[in-house]
Amino acid sequence: MEKADILSMEKEELTEFMKGLGEAAYRGKQVFTRLHLKKAVSFGEMTELSLKLRELLKEKAGLYGVKTVKKYKSSIDNTIKYLFLIENGYIIESVLMKYDYGYTVCVSTQAGCRMGCSFCASTIGGLDRSLTAGEILSQIYEIERQEGIRVGHVVMMGCGEPLDNFENCVKFIKIISCKDGAEISKRNITLSTCGLVDKIYELAELKLPITLAVSLHAPNDGIRKRLMPIANKYKYEDVIRAAKDYAEATKRRVTFEYSLIDGVNDSRENAEELSRRLKGILAHVNLIPVNSVKERSYIKSSDKNVRAFSRILTEKGIENTVRRKLGADINAACGQLRNSEVKAK
């Protein structure tokens, strides 16, 4: 990316960039609105700018978005999965989901992942690189253009660990919620992390009213270390404390993600221990029957065990829901299609 990446610039940055080109400050807001409200994909579309200025922007700046490689639509629930190409030839994926309250897009924040969670397809090939703020934004804008819709909710739960790409993800949140752009409410944005404790505290300091989702997947350190290498760096109790402190600092309820794996973390004892760990925290547990990944040996919990696990949490006063599985016929779980495409190439 030799030219200025203006799609990744916040409004104030873009204003300074335009002033640096000898233009009036209002041009910054004008270009920002064109990019993030009207979703322009070329400078030629910015017809309110003079031809001379459009040519200057072509010379000095680039629009580094995503390009569609493949698209899959579920015949079960109309979930749509997209494989996108980014700079350097890397593949990422995004998912469009429709709910009663509107459209949600699950975005990737990295091409691949280096966290190494043993049940996840996203991390199989390691990390290629982190995405820019503009590349994260472009996933949403491209889906909106293709489907003729307006997205109202965003979950940062696709490929990658968002807090391992901290600056670009924070910039993405600020741009996507800006009133002169897409203006998606921060309260409609969820960021998922495997539990980078220091970054959770750094995020809390920003007081962004987003929802934090912590991938817990175990009731204790012993099981968590088997599933998630990050547990060797951050103790279970420290992850829980960071989530609790985040909830207190932001006044936002934290979500704990818990993938249920047959014979690993789905017993009655596991549910009771998890309940004790989470007692008194402003939190909600999202129970997820683990997705089958052919490179992994884990089997999802039976429906009976999932219901029993949920019932125990409820009895112990822990709010929880069982995640509705979307796009099952198109491998909509994060990393699966991307991994297949990368292998094929």
Q: Which residues are catalytic?
A: 93, 334
Residues 75-85: b if buried by 16+ CB within 10 A, e if exposed:
eebebbbbbbe
* Residue 141: closest CA among 191, 176, 186, 90: 176
State which amino acid sits at residue 165: N
- H helices within the chain, ranges in order? 11-20, 26-36, 51-60, 133-147, 166-176, 197-205, 221-227, 236-250, 268-278, 303-315, 336-344
Q: Is the separation of the CB atoms in 79 and 104 below 8 Å?
A: no
* Residue 106: closest CA among 130, 77, 80: 80
Longest Cα–Cα distance of the chain, Å, equals 69
**CA–CA distance, 178 with 182 (Å, rounded to integer):** 7
Q: Give the CA distances from residue 120 to residues 117, 269, 345, in Å, rounded to whole numbers and listed in that order.
A: 6, 24, 21
Q: Helices 11-20 and 26-36: crossing angle, nearest 10°?
A: 130
Q: Which two tokens stand for residue 221?
A: 């350190």
Contacts with 100 (C-beta within 8 Å, 6 or more apart), sequence order: none
Q: Give the CA distances from residue 37 to residues 7, 74, 295, in Å, rounded to whole numbers and listed in that order.
A: 12, 29, 41
Q: Which 3 state secondary structure label does DSSP give 288?
A: strand
**CA–CA distance, 36 with 163 (Å, rounded to integer):** 23
Q: Helices 197-205 and 236-250: crossing angle, nearest 10°?
A: 10
